[in-house]
């Protein structure tokens, strides 16, 4: 289970990096919440925040990719999707 949640953390870090590259202040809120959840998970190993904001990030990244395909890599989206599907609360 821990390995699955570590993958979720890693894929969320990829999403943060993507939001940083986009350099759009409209994404500052989701980016900062995702960063906070990553830090929180590192501290308490509770992945619920990662999952919640991972899903929100995935939805935003998919919208961006549909409008501007070159701005978001397929790999970032696929990694988030796989990690969210494998998510475990334990």
| Residue 21 within any structural domain of the chain | yes
- Give residue for tokens 């943060």: 16
Q: Is the pLDDT of residue 90 over 60?
A: no
The answer to whether position 11 is within a domain reads: yes
Domain total in the chain: 1
Q: Is residue 90 part of a domain?
A: no
Which residue segment(s) compose the domain that 74 sits in? 2-85
C-beta separation of 31 from 19 below 8 A: yes
Could you read off the pLDDT of 32-84 as tens digits, one per residue? 999 999 999 999 999 999 999 999 999 999 999 999 999 999 999 999 999 99
The sign of the torsion formed by the CA atoms of 52, 56, 62, 65 equals: negative
In whole angstroms, give the CA distance from residue 63 to residue 57: 10
Q: Quote the pTM value.
A: 0.90
Which range among 2-11, 21-30, 47-56, 77-86 shows the weakest confidence by mean pLDDT? Answer: 2-11
pLDDT at residue 87, rounded to an integer:
79
* Residue 44 is assigned to a structural domain of this protein: yes
């Amino acid at each position: 289970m821990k390995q699955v949640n570590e993958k979720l953390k890693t894929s969320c870090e990829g999403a943060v990096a993507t939001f940083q590259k986009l350099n759009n202040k409209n994404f500052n809120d989701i980016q900062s919440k995702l960063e906070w959840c990553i830090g929180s998970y590192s501290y308490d190993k509770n992945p619920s925040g990662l999952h919640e904001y991972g899903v929100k990030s995935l939805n935003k990244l998919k919208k961006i990719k549909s409008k501007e395909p070159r701005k978001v890599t397929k790999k970032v989206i696929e990694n988030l999707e796989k990690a969210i599907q494998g998510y475990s609360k334990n």
